[in-house]
Amino acid sequence: MPISQSPVLVTGATGFVAAELVKQLLAAGYRVRGTTRNVEKAVEQGELTSLPGASERLELVAADLNEPGAFTPHMTDVEYVLHTASPYILQVDDPQRDLVDPAVNGTMSVLHSAAETPSVKRIVLTSSFAAVSNGGRDEPYSEADWNEESSLTNGPYAYSKTMAERSAWDFMEEENRHFDLVVINPVGVIGPSVVNRVNQTHEFMIGMTNGQAPAIIDMSFPIVDVRDVAKAHILAMETPEAHGRYLTSAGAPPFRRYIDVMNDAGLDEHYELPKLGLDNPVGSLVVKGLMLTQPKGVREAVSPNLGAKFDLNTSKIENELGMDWMDIDTSIHDQAMDLHEKGYLGKQPD
């Protein structure tokens, strides 16, 4: 049962997480107002407008992250804002311009617009585990941890997420606000996509099928299903007691588990999946040497995380919001089959 008859504002509605969020909100009976940079293109593609309930309860409106005040006219009568829009790119020409500015400016634009809109009760912000850490460690991570290592030259994407979230909390502390802020910190998001395009987590799996990842390496990746991330946002919106940050992770399966699931699904009949096992100490030395020939973004994603362990304490979201998790193998399988059916697996990079 919807907790509000007013439209729920979802920013960046054509994004991977946001599109799933729109789908679940519509399924739950909510009215949805989704922002996108190009409404005409979104309507033409039809991925959101064809969702069940969209013709009656979905409105698409134009807004740009970098345009001050762009969200203000779209908050009229809105009580809940789910701010997901933020660039997710590992290799950019100008990290400040391409990552940090859009992430921070977009978040601050939404917050300033909410401050000017008396009807707003809560903002749920999509941050990232990247704002918690830029790598693995032995002891568990919690919501109290912050990424202190990243910068414009060292993990600029993680730095952009950290700066955007810190700016949001600083804004909330400046003076009493008439709305509250809840933050979702998901790890790598996988699963089937409502929209027909690929993102960085998809590219990782595609790389297992096009020769970019010729061997199985010693890496574990904390992941969570996109359907669970959307559910976490809705729970954070609907639970009056929700507060602070919420780590969102289903676990950290090793690289080999992806290959096993894809083999079990019969995808080895269509693609040359990695067989060489370098997921051992000697293999990791070989991989580190090979990384010296790779682009900076790839090196930063792989080299520090070889053999790293990721242990996340997700008891806060489980206990306070009643969150549970989809089976990891199901998430890997569903993403692989979605990419296979859409013709992305095995595709060579442009």
- Which residues have a catalytic role annotated? 161
Residue 336: exposure state from Cβ atoms within 10 A (0-12, 13-18, ≥19): buried
In DSSP terms, which residues pair with 82 in a beta bridge?
A: 10, 124
Structure tokens of 2?
A: 């919807």
Structure tokens of 213?
A: 């990842």
Alpha helices in 213-327 (DSSP H): 226-238, 255-264, 281-291, 296-302, 315-321
Go through the chain and tell me how many residues it has.
350
**Phi and psi dihedrals of 220, rounded to 5?**
-115, 140
Scanning the structure block, which residue is given the tokens 């083999």?
A: 263
Query: How far is Cα 97 from Cα 100, in angstroms, rounded to an integer?
Result: 6
Output the CA–CA distances (angstroms, integers) from residue 344 to 196, 257, 271, 272, in the order listed: 10, 20, 11, 14
With contact defined as beta carbons under 8 Å apart, do 224 and 187 qualify? yes
| Residues whose CB falls within 8 Å of the CB of residue 209, separated by 6 or more in sequence, listed in order | 262, 267, 271, 272, 273, 345, 346
Query: How far is Cα 317 from Cα 319, in angstroms, rounded to an integer?
Result: 6
